[in-house]
Structure 1
Amino acid sequence: MAVNLISNYLRTTRYDSGISLYLHTNPLLMKPKIGFIFLFLLLSFYGLAQAPKKTLRTKFSDEKFTIDGVLDEKAWATADTATDFVMIEPDNGKLEEPTRKSVVKVVYSNEALYVGAIMYDSQPETILRELTIRDDFATADHFGVILNGFNDGQQDFRFFVSAAGVQQDCVYTDASGEDFSWDAIWESDVKITDFGWVAEFKIPYAALRFPPNAKQTWGINFYREVKTIRFQYTWNLIDNKIGTEANQAGILEGIENIKTPTRLFFIPYSSFYLNTNNTQKTNGELKGGMDIKYGINDAFTLDAILIPDFGQTKFDNVVLNLGPFEQTFNENRPFFTEGTEMFSKGDLLYSRRIGGTPILQENLGPNEEVVERPVAVNLYNAMKVSGRTDKGLGVGILNALTQRMFSDIRNTVTGETRKELVEPLTNYNLMVLDQRFRKNSSVSLINTNVTREGHFRDANVTALLFDLNTRENTFNLSGDYKISTIKRPEARDLTGYNTSLFFGETSGNYRFGIGGQYVSTFFDINDLGVNFQTHYHSLYANASYRILNPTKRFNTFSLFVNGYSEFDNRTGRVQQFNLRYNVNIVDKKNDYYGFGMSARPVKVYDFYEARTEFDTRFLTLPETFNVFAYISTNYNRPFAIDFNPSFTYLNEEGRRSYYVQLAPRYRFSNKFSMVWDYSYGFQNNNIGYTGQNDVLGDIYMGRRDVTTHTLSITGKYSINHNITINLTTRYYWSYALYNRYYSLNSDGSLTNLGADAFDADQNFNTWNCDLNFSWWFAPGSQINILYRNNAFLFDRSDFNIDTRSNFGRVLSANSLDHILSVSVRYFVDYNSLRKK
């Protein structure tokens, strides 16, 4: 999608859709025709003409700059200007209005690049400037500079500041979009004036990457967003008919004889934790460690953590999981989120595996019980090296070492205790080689390896990927081949593979795509990645239409149609078959609307719900029909609301499901805002696994009503752009009431066992509350004070389903934990130390 830049600025759950019409064919028959290959190669060299790039020339200055939002240094007066910005959203290609003219100047010194921007506005009192935490665009005007020191269309470093002075920065690639987990050390300030507002940047060369050439030619672009009307502009046009952004920057010339600085940064930290609950005494714990960042050369960077501390990371949104697959969580640990674009290729890394839960179960003897089992594996250290040469070769290496972990086991008769190993010493390694060419295509080789100390399971996965785009980014051909090997100490090794192919048009009003995938039975990447399903092949296709410029009624309008078919390799039965379409609209008031429907017009066969490895038993699932819609009003207004209802009909008597989400938000001022988010889900007569008899080989299913309530409240108060107080709470309650049980037959049918055969009712409550004070007291240096309390409550059999009762019980439960933590991180630049 061209203009990923824009979609990320609207970071507001706007339901980005990529929906397709799916057809089925055996993917083994999907051999490309010679004519198709010839056409693709032809298109690779010929395409639509692209507009010439704008050029800006900068000048050197040894003047001392004060970054204050006032462009009063002498160098600004003689600097060349970048003007004539062009709209990218909503009316792509339209010149900026004279009343909102933008003027940008660039000056450089021996140590940094300086950017001064004047944004004229005939109504400066309407400039929106909400205060937020870093990297949150919220409701504010923005200005940004986009830099590529190699001018190769491969990787941008993007720096933004809001009219309230809040910084945002990210690394961008066309393959992965914007990665806002990357934080650089740079300076900025803004001033609101009687003619608009002014932004001033100082971007040290240590925050950038560029070759050691005497004369530099960089890729550069400037971005402006007028939030009141949601108009977005760039200096060099980002054409939304082209499916890429990085190749559409302008040119910066004039930088000469600068030296790449030593990029060596130390971030020592110290943390103190005070823990208490109703069942144990209060205890304190002091931790300390250090992060190191080192620029090996102009292109490659080493990141390392010594004695890591992730105690203040965001809590996980745990749910009642009744399905056959584990619940996965977002990565919130900074080391594993920063600059991971290279490591995400091939979807072979699920970094929560590193330092996750122990993999081994305790072997209990007579009269033994587990007194304490570690909930997570401790990390000794981790490091990553990543970068890209001037020839386009990207290299990424990630390595982590985790500790041995033990459970405490006690004999209930003798009182004796012992420890048992539940996690061996383990090394995790990931290597990526990614060769880019013609600025928009790549071929990648990836390897992941997990090695455990002793006589335990080891794993290795290798993948070859290709992503080919025509010269004008109008068509894409991509695919992969992955092979996994699991070494098991007591059994034979298992080898599996996964391969896919996709072709599609990626530009213009009308777009389409078609692809297929084949996954063998023993394909397994779960030691360092995630794959839930195996032994299937699939074919999918999509078609879409969008307007590229506003109409009288709509700012944007898009229609997506898609479908997906999936077949079990062993039996040929249909595992999935879905058809779906949806429409997304942004009206002239910048309110968002969407609606659509999906259908599964045939019965399908679920080979995973039975929870039997390498077995062909399945559960038959009925035809379904689903309708959904959403409304999201303009967040520029102090009061806005999101509303998302859906309804699903299943072709079985009395089987339905409902879901609704309601999320109002109110901005009391530029400093204070709150969001209330409530969702309700109900599945009537849902059916799923309840257990099995290992001796008889019987598998049991249960018919159940599943009800889920989720309430989240978030609030933000910003004292200024460096100091914020944030509140995040979440109460989740889900329960399943079973009304009938069955035995699963080999043909997918069910034998009724009655309502009293088992008692599988479940009631699950979780509560989380984080109150955080954050102060960026110096560049890259932060103090965090976090108060956290959390609890969970899980009932089987008889329980009360009254809302007040459950909420009260979870808050008064003995497991309610209270944690107060203070963390101080200080950024040290080696260059500053050397000067001193």
Structure 2
Amino acid sequence: MPKYTYLSLLFLIFCSISTYSQKKALHTARITQNITIDGKINEEVWKTASVATDFVMYEPDNGKPISTDKKTDVKILYDNNAIYVAALLYDNNPAKIKTEITNRDVFGVSDVFSVYINGFNDGQQDFRFYVSSAGVQMDCLATEHSEDFTWDAIWDSKATLTDFGWVVEMKIPYAALRFSNAEKQTWGLNFMREIKRDVQKYTWNHIDTKIGAVIPQAGILEGIKNIKTPTRLFFIPYTSAYYQQNDIGSSTTFKAGLDLKYGINDSFTLDAILVPDFGQTKFDNAILNLEPFEQRFDENRPFFTEGTDLFSKGGLFYSRRIGGAPSTEPQIADNEEITNYPSSVKLINAVKVSGRTEKGLGIGFLNAITKKTYATIRNNDTNENRKEVIEPLTNYNMLVLDQRFNQNSSVSFVNANTTRNGNFRDANVSALLFDLNTKANMYNLYGDFKYSSINTTEDYTGFKTSLNFAKTSGKYRYYLSGKYLSRDYDINDLGIIFYTNYHSAFANGSYRILNPIKFFNTFKIEQELNLEIQNTTGKLQEGWYKTVIKARSRNNNYFELALVINPLETFDFYEPRENGRYLQIPRRISSYFGTEFNSNNAFTFDFTPSFAIYDQDGRINYGLALGPKYRFNDEFSLSYVLDYTIKKNDIGWVAFDNAGIIFAERNREILQNDITGKYAINDKMTINLTARYYWSYSQNHEFYTLQNNGYLIPNNVYSTNKDRNFNSWNFDLSYSWWFAPGSEISFLYRNYSLERASIVEKNLNTNFKSVFNGNLTNVFSVSLRYFIDYNVVKNTF
């Protein structure tokens, strides 16, 4: 090959690298004039601002320049209080812009403009602010592969439709951001525009989808300097009232309290909650739980969902432990019974501090205290009552230290501590984590070591460790993982874990298209192999091969197909409910096929049939999930979800007796119905409906005794009725008005009922009636929260 050919190739490679590494820069300027956030952008000062333009398609056709008829121009200005963003979003057919009005943090069927800000420019975390063409705000804290929309900042925005497209104006106070205290600021910055009807997203700084990491591919915001930020001190007092009525009687409750947010400096924030009130949080989805483990519930309390990304590192924090169920049960005599056992422990107060230093050290600290809780026990001979402590005064602590470096890597230390007053169980868990990425974000090495120490009547310790390696860029990617968990590894005082005492190996390989092809906008196929071996016996606990295909068609329909094969028998070490015992699980094959039709249409529909076939006579599971949704207009929509599962000849634990551990062959049906409705009066005022009816039964027809080898033999003697019939109903109708930034008044009508029985009723109509004929509880509540900025009221006081 001629010499000049080599030189040409080197030049092309160099240009490619330079093109990839080049970041766009936007220069901003300080202002002294006031800007009114009205979506008009008519202040003279905007005419002098630099313009961010020439957007590039993010998906589906990555790298394609935006067309001139969809030109997007963005400007940024700043003062000592906030940054100001103005975006002109041109559209050659403004009448077709999608404008569904939704609740906050719900995207819906609307065009969206967003700004991504990284105050440390470290490629690790974005503060993202979205405004829809209907004027609805969405915001989140984003790390790679995670967006936390439970985080809600206080900021101002306005969107207006025009004859050339639409306009967005935003004011983002520094209180909503985190950045260093340097005199001259350099921030990571990107903008994204989504055109809903065309299913297209564009960004200002090009994000190459061949590279797995998104945040390091941001542009740069320059020009902010010598800002003197105001005191970040906010008070959110609240008051609420509840009226509850059921068959037993009625009651009225009044509450008042205060949330406090204080900016210790530009990087760190303190959040405190005094006299908590979570009466209007979303209800839990109760189920008929026949598993050997507790049911895991979602966290719906704002304090424990907002800005908790640091505390999620290492997986040691399950916030429902705080104020959850008591940790012990009282000891009772043969002539006693428990007449009152509280289902939850009251939270007294909670505080958290979190932020990140200029050198990339993230620090998070959370503390919560719960109240001493008693059970009431009655002596049936004397009718006297006594109380016994089932949860003492308890202190929960989380500490996280997370050091970021090289734009995209980190090492972390996490500690979770639970201290209970008196002789009750205490726990301490610590973790060391590392997450290393190559400079070009092509490869990732991640690992951890976790150590738990439990102090109870018999102290014990345990550990968990893992090492993971992945190729994270290109069409072909892979992921390799190995881990080991000791028998006594236990994080369940402040975390949650079900499976321990095993070691495993996992491999994943995938192929994806990076640009649209003839039939698909996106297409991905994954192959997975997983092996888990129980440490004590060396028996196979899990062993499966999985294939998953995910695709989105050119007309925005989504498809997903999965096939899972368990070619070897495995053993369940938890279903027997006795340490050292295990149950043989036969070979099996399972699959599902999911379809979701174009969500931009007024009527959309999704359905997912599934099945699992066991290598055991007559044992089969099959299910169907379907969900029609109709959007009547931009304000009103209704959706329905049906989830139905049948398990024929299922095997499960039912009891202990003199013969040993009793299992049953049983038939099960599980039916869940969810209805959701939304009527948006405007972008600040909505009426919402959520209703859920759940029914499930378990009917035993053969009993067995578990042998020491894990297999079952028939038991023709056991005859106790262990059938279960379970009904649950929840209904919420709410009105919410955000009458000022951060301030809300809400009205909620809620009714609910729960029924358990040992006689199976298979008639759905009869079940539905019985849940309403039971002890139906009705609750009406009103809550008022008001956001007070110290800087606004300080002169008044």
Residue number among 587, 590, 596 corresponding to 2:553 in the alignment: 587
CA distance in structure 2 between the partners assigned to 1:413 and 1:702 by the alignment? 37
CA distance in structure 2 between the partners assigned to 1:49 and 1:76 by the alignment? 31
Q: What residue number does 1:28 align with? A: none
CA distance in structure 2 between the partners assigned to 1:580 and 1:249 by the alignment? 35
Q: What residue number does 1:523 align with? A: 489
Matched letter for residue 261 of structure 2: K
Q: What residue number does 2:791 align with? A: 831
Q: What residue number does 2:740 align with? A: 778
Residue number among 110, 122, 137 corresponding to 2:92 in the alignment: 122
Do residues 151 (structure 1) and 121 (structure 2) align?
A: yes
- 2:715 counterpart SS class: strand
Question: Equivalences for 1:374-385 in 2 at 5 Å?
Answer: 374-385=342-353
Q: What residue number does 2:772 align with? A: 811
CA distance in structure 2 between the partners assigned to 1:193 and 1:52 by the alignment? 34
Question: Equivalences for 1:653-802 in 2 at 5 Å?
Answer: 653-693=617-657, 696=658, 698-754=660-716, 757-796=719-758, 798-802=759-763
Contact preservation (8 Å) 1:168, 1:180: yes
Question: Equivalences for 1:416-565 in 2 at 5 Å?
Answer: 416-488=384-456, 490-491=457-458, 493-565=459-531
CA distance in structure 1 between the partners assigned to 2:760 and 2:585 by the alignment? 30
CA distance in structure 2 between the partners assigned to 1:381 and 1:432 by the alignment? 20
Residue number among 150, 155, 163 corresponding to 1:194 in the alignment: 163
Q: What residue number does 2:4 align with? A: none
CA distance in structure 1 between the partners assigned to 2:591 and 2:129 by the alignment? 41
Matched letter for residue 169 of structure 1: D
Question: Equivalences for 1:212-611 in 2 at 5 Å?
Answer: 212-280=181-249, 282-488=250-456, 490-491=457-458, 493-611=459-577
Contact preservation (8 Å) 2:327, 2:390: yes
Which has the higher mean CA deviation after the structures are superposed, 412-421 or 799-808?
A: 412-421
Contact preservation (8 Å) 1:212, 1:259: no
CA distance in structure 1 between the partners assigned to 2:698 and 2:774 by the alignment? 21
CA distance in structure 2 between the partners assigned to 1:663 and 1:754 by the alignment? 44
CA distance in structure 2 between the partners assigned to 1:48 and 1:566 by the alignment? 45
Which has the higher mean CA deviation after the structures are superposed, 152-161 or 681-690?
A: 152-161
Runs of 4+ in 1 over 4 A off after TM superposition: 46-49
Q: What residue number does 1:31 align with? A: none
Length-normalised TM-score, structure 2: 0.96
Residue number among 79, 86, 93 corresponding to 2:49 in the alignment: 79
Do residues 634 (structure 1) and 598 (structure 2) align?
A: yes
Cα deviation, residue 394, structure 1: 0.7
- 2:208 counterpart SS class: coil
CA distance in structure 1 between the partners assigned to 2:563 and 2:795 by the alignment? 64
Cα deviation, residue 556, structure 1: 0.4
Cα deviation, residue 383, structure 1: 0.7
Residue number among 90, 102, 107 corresponding to 1:137 in the alignment: 107
Q: What residue number does 2:582 align with? A: 618
Matched letter for residue 190 of structure 1: A
CA distance in structure 2 between the partners assigned to 1:90 and 1:735 by the alignment? 45
Do residues 178 (structure 1) and 140 (structure 2) align?
A: no
Contact preservation (8 Å) 1:107, 1:114: yes
CA distance in structure 1 between the partners assigned to 2:82 and 2:452 by the alignment? 46
Contact preservation (8 Å) 2:84, 2:170: yes
Matched letter for residue 198 of structure 2: I
Query: Structure 1 vs Structure 2: percent identity of aligned residues?
Result: 52
CA distance in structure 2 between the partners assigned to 1:755 and 1:806 by the alignment? 31
Contact preservation (8 Å) 1:290, 1:307: yes
Q: What residue number does 1:210 align with? A: 179
CA distance in structure 1 between the partners assigned to 2:209 and 2:615 by the alignment? 42
Cα deviation, residue 371, structure 1: 2.1
Q: What residue number does 1:19 align with? A: none
Do residues 63 (structure 1) and 33 (structure 2) align?
A: yes
CA distance in structure 2 between the partners assigned to 1:588 and 1:623 by the alignment? 39
CA distance in structure 1 between the partners assigned to 2:19 and 2:572 by the alignment? 49
Cα deviation, residue 835, structure 1: 4.4
CA distance in structure 2 between the partners assigned to 1:302 and 1:121 by the alignment? 43
Contact preservation (8 Å) 1:129, 1:163: yes
Matched letter for residue 582 of structure 1: V
- 1:82 counterpart SS class: coil
Cα deviation, residue 212, structure 1: 2.3
CA distance in structure 2 between the partners assigned to 1:515 and 1:156 by the alignment? 28
Cα deviation, residue 755, structure 1: 8.1
Cα deviation, residue 47, structure 1: 8.6
Cα deviation, residue 697, structure 1: 7.0
CA distance in structure 1 between the partners assigned to 2:36 and 2:669 by the alignment? 59
Question: Equivalences for 1:8-87 in 2 at 5 Å?
Answer: 50-87=20-57
Matched letter for residue 596 of structure 1: A
- 1:472 counterpart SS class: coil
Q: Deviations over 1:555-597 (max 9, x none)?
A: 0000011021100111111011010001111111000011121
CA distance in structure 2 between the partners assigned to 1:513 and 1:408 by the alignment? 53
Q: Deviations over 1:526-570 (max 9, x none)?
A: 011111111111000000000000112110000011021100111
Length-normalised TM-score, structure 1: 0.92
Matched letter for residue 374 of structure 2: F
CA distance in structure 1 between the partners assigned to 2:404 and 2:52 by the alignment? 30
Contact preservation (8 Å) 1:504, 1:514: yes
- 2:682 counterpart SS class: coil
- 2:80 counterpart SS class: coil
CA distance in structure 2 between the partners assigned to 1:608 and 1:363 by the alignment? 25
- 1:92 counterpart SS class: coil
Cα deviation, residue 800, structure 1: 2.1
CA distance in structure 2 between the partners assigned to 1:800 and 1:834 by the alignment? 64
Matched letter for residue 115 of structure 1: V
Contact preservation (8 Å) 1:384, 1:398: yes
Q: Which has the higher contact order (CA 8 A, sep 6+)?
A: 1
Matched letter for residue 698 of structure 2: A
Cα deviation, residue 155, structure 1: 2.0
CA distance in structure 1 between the partners assigned to 2:184 and 2:314 by the alignment? 37
CA distance in structure 2 between the partners assigned to 1:401 and 1:200 by the alignment? 42
Matched letter for residue 773 of structure 2: S
* Structure 1 residue runs without a partner (length 5+): 1-45
Contact preservation (8 Å) 2:699, 2:760: no
Matched letter for residue 343 of structure 1: F
Cα deviation, residue 48, structure 1: 9.3
Matched letter for residue 585 of structure 2: L
CA distance in structure 2 between the partners assigned to 1:441 and 1:109 by the alignment? 33
Cα deviation, residue 227, structure 1: 0.4
